[in-house]
Amino acid sequence: MTDDAPRPVKTTKTSLAVVRTVRDNDGATLSELADQLEVAKSTIHNHLHTLVEEGFLVREGDTYHVGLQFLPFGEHARDRNPLYAATRRRVYSLSEKSGNEADFIVEENGRAYSLEYAIGESTPRGLSESGPFRAGNRFYMHNCASGKAILASMPEARVREIIGRWGLPATTDETITDEAALFDELEAIRERGYATNNEELIEGYRSIGASITSPDGEVVGAFSIGGPTYRMAVDESTTEEIGQLLVDEIDALETELF
């Protein structure tokens, strides 16, 4: 992560760091924040009060939590995506058909965001806390199936821009960290029609993703299906079957929309 803001606003960054830390800790006290962020308690104190006043944090006793004020902004950002409404039901459908987790991913600013996520039959988002996935989550592009599928459908210049901006950080031993290896992989994805992720994001998790492109050839998102390794067999036929499921769903979507 390279910072390129011209004359950046350090104070705002501090405030955002506070909020991020509160979320990462799932609630934090003033002292905890001062410790972790290594700034004076009085500084944290001021930021906390300001953020509470604005509704972006809530105070419960002496513990601060992420405030619901994020929700209208998050929903606004999500609803802005023209595909969100049309893809939602298909995410549920993919999850049911495959018996695994499914999600709809879009790229923004070189990162992959999950706009909708479903697991199992009638168990939509929020009901299961298992796994690292959940609507709204943000991933790197290079170590998740959807992200790689999207990269594979992008002009090379854009891919270079993204990996220049965010690098290729490893989260497991399997993560692709070499630029040349990544480009080889993207080529393979283009030939195959879908991308795979074998424990490249987290150990014990495997997934398959395929990208959605608009009529003018621009990639606009991706679906992926994934689950624990014991449920997602690694053999060729299972992979092909799920890959085909995705490709079919995307064909249907593209027919519906375009």
Partner DNA sequence: CCGTCTATTCACACATTTCGAACGTAGTCG
Partner DNA sequence: CGACTACGTTCGAAATGTGTGAATAGACGG
Contact residue for DNA among 46, 93, 177, 214 (CB under 7 A): 46
Residue 124 φ/ψ, nearest 5 degrees: -70, 175
Ranges within 71-110 binding a copy of itself (CB under 8 A): 71-80, 84-85, 88, 106, 108-109
* Least distance CB 155 / DNA (angstroms): 19
Contact residue for a copy of itself among 46, 63, 171, 172 (CB under 8 A): 46
Contact between 210 and DNA per CB under 7 A:
no
- Between 44 and 106, CB nearer to DNA: 44
Q: Which does 30 bind (CB under 5 to 8 A by kind): a copy of itself, DNA, none?
A: DNA
Q: Which does 150 bind (CB under 5 to 8 A by kind): a copy of itself, DNA, none?
A: none
Which residue is listed with tokens 């796994």?
Answer: 131
- Between 40 and 233, CB nearer to DNA: 40
Q: Which stretch binds DNA (CB under 7 A): 35-43, 88-96, 106-114, 130-138?
A: 35-43
* Least distance CB 114 / a copy of itself (angstroms): 8
Contact between 20 and DNA per CB under 7 A:
no
Q: Which stretch binds DNA (CB under 7 A): 45-53, 81-89, 130-138, 223-231?
A: 45-53
Ranges within 48-67 binding DNA (CB under 7 A): 48-49, 62
Q: Which does 23 bind (CB under 5 to 8 A by kind): a copy of itself, DNA, none?
A: a copy of itself
Contact between 6 and DNA per CB under 7 A:
yes
Q: Which residues pair with 222 in a beta bridge?
A: 105, 211
Contact between 39 and DNA per CB under 7 A:
yes
Residue 110 φ/ψ, nearest 5 degrees: 80, 5
8 A C-beta contact, residue 132 and residue 117: no
Residue 95: which of 245, 252, 251, 255 has the closest Cα? Answer: 245
Q: How far is it, in rounded angstroms, from Cα 69 to Cα 148? A: 32
Contact residue for a copy of itself among 30, 33, 34, 56 (CB under 8 A): 56
Binding site for DNA (CB under 7 A): 6-12, 14, 29-31, 39-43, 45-49, 62
